[in-house]
Amino acid sequence: MAGRSGLLLGVAAASTKGLVTLVTYAAEFGGGLGDGYRVELVAHLLLVVAACLVVVALVRSGRYRLEIGVPRRGRSRLVVLLGAAGSLALLLHVLRLSEIGPKAYWIAPSVWLTVVALVVPAVAAVATPRRFGAFLLAGWVGGAAALFAAYLAFADEKLNNDGLDIGATPILLFGSTLVALLVVAVLDARAEPARATA
């Protein structure tokens, strides 16, 4: 249960950026967005509902908890630091976007992702059993890697087509923290036997 639940929660956390993008875009541009928009919106909402149901099941099981406080383990502290570094990189990206122009459908989702990039690794660092935290990180990295690729492609498109430099360096820094988080997730998943969380 730890593996699937953690993966789903990590991916769902990354997916919320897409949900914020859709809502912000609709608010800024109004109606007439079509069926594709509605399908994507429903898909994101279903993923959030699934994540909520998983959280309820985890809480009811009593086997999963958050050890609130400063992480004691070195790897857990590293996860928090990497999350903070990734979030800081995204904050630099947000600041660059705000310099270019106040387009809410660019900035609001990026601010949301900046917060999520800090919160998810922090939660993974204090989650027990550790194997659950490792899978939560792995799910986050998988979902965030897709966002990283999309952000990088968007930066390249804006530079080549519109002459706007929205800053690829912070995006690359964020991507590098994802690679480091994946390494830590793998080490944590291997360090704790699967039977301890069954």
Q: What is the pLDDT of residue 10?
A: 93
Q: Is 67 helix (H, G, I), strand (E, B) or coil?
A: coil
133 within 8 A of 117, measured Cβ to Cβ:
no
Global pTM reads 0.86
Q: What is the pLDDT of residue 31?
A: 65
- From first to last of the 198 residues of the chain, give the pLDDT tens digit: 667 888 899 999 999 999 998 888 888 777 667 888 889 999 999 999 999 999 999 889 888 877 787 777 778 889 999 999 999 999 999 988 888 776 767 788 999 999 999 999 999 998 888 888 889 999 999 999 999 998 889 888 888 888 888 878 999 999 999 999 999 888 877 776 655 443
What does the buried/exposed string (b/e) look like for 94-111 if buried means 16 or more CB atoms within 10 Å of the residue's CB? bebbeeeeeeebbbbbbb
Whole-angstrom distance, CA of residue 159 vs CA of residue 57: 46
